[in-house]
Amino acid sequence: MSLARRLFAAGYDPLMSAAERGWLGRFRALLLDHARGEVVEVGAGTGANLARYHDVIRVHATEPDAEMRRRMERKLDAAPVPVEVSAAPAEDLPFPDASFDTAVSTLVVCSFRDPARALREIRRVLRPDGQYLFLEHGGATGRRGTGSGGSTRSGATCPPGATSTATRPTSCGTPGSRSSSWSAWSPGPPACSGP
């Protein structure tokens, strides 16, 4: 693992602490209030969401980065629900089709190696009546978004033939940067529908 990855993992929670105590923590709580049943959290990072889950059966937290996962594992005892951790990347989830009632991702889509493949995997592991809850930074379009800054990342939308009813990530950045805006999606149909 590179020094940059280790430093990023070590600095993530301290860097985000003010936002987590304020607006970002409120967004996470509002989003996760809608989680239900069996949950898969894709790219769970340092586990910032774990303490906010309630009324779910179990959370399956995936995080391919070993340093982020190590930090997340320190938070497992504080989680009010059972949590299982795996090293799976978003593009290759190790779960059978239609395994989960809810899929969650927060502030991670921009780090997916192949966003379209990752979104197909999320759709694959969701049950037909499942929901994809996500909090991402980037422009939003469609009936759940308002459209804002940045240009759509190639491949970050739904697979060919499917339609989007949710937020589309545009670029990585920080709140207030010229290249980024922040959006949250509330529950409804899965982010992509169709073939």
**41 within a domain of the structure (yes/no):** yes
Contact call for residues 42 and 104 (beta carbons, < 8 A): yes
Contact call for residues 185 and 135 (beta carbons, < 8 A): yes
Which residues partner with 193 through β-bridges? Answer: 163
Query: Tens of pLDDT along 78-113?
Result: 999 999 999 999 999 999 999 999 999 999 998 899
Contact call for residues 102 and 38 (beta carbons, < 8 A): yes
**146 within a domain of the structure (yes/no):** no
**47 within a domain of the structure (yes/no):** yes
Report pLDDT for 52: 96
Quote the number of domains for the chain.
1
Single-letter residue type at 36: R
CATH number at residue 20: 3.40.50.150
**32 within a domain of the structure (yes/no):** yes
Query: Tens of pLDDT along 7-50?
Result: 988 898 899 989 899 999 999 999 999 999 999 999 999 999 99
Q: How far is CA 45 from the centre of its chain?
A: 9
Token pair for 68: 């982020």
Q: Whole-angstrom Cα distance, residue 115 to residue 174?
A: 19
**143 within a domain of the structure (yes/no):** no
Range of the domain at 77: 3-137+181-193
**61 within a domain of the structure (yes/no):** yes
**145 within a domain of the structure (yes/no):** no
Q: Whole-angstrom Cα distance, residue 150 to residue 27?
A: 21
**96 within a domain of the structure (yes/no):** yes
Which of 159, 59, 43, 25 lies closest to 105, judged by CA? 43
Query: Tens of pLDDT along 128-157?
Result: 999 999 998 765 555 444 433 332 232 333
Token pair for 42: 């894709």
Report pLDDT for 141: 54
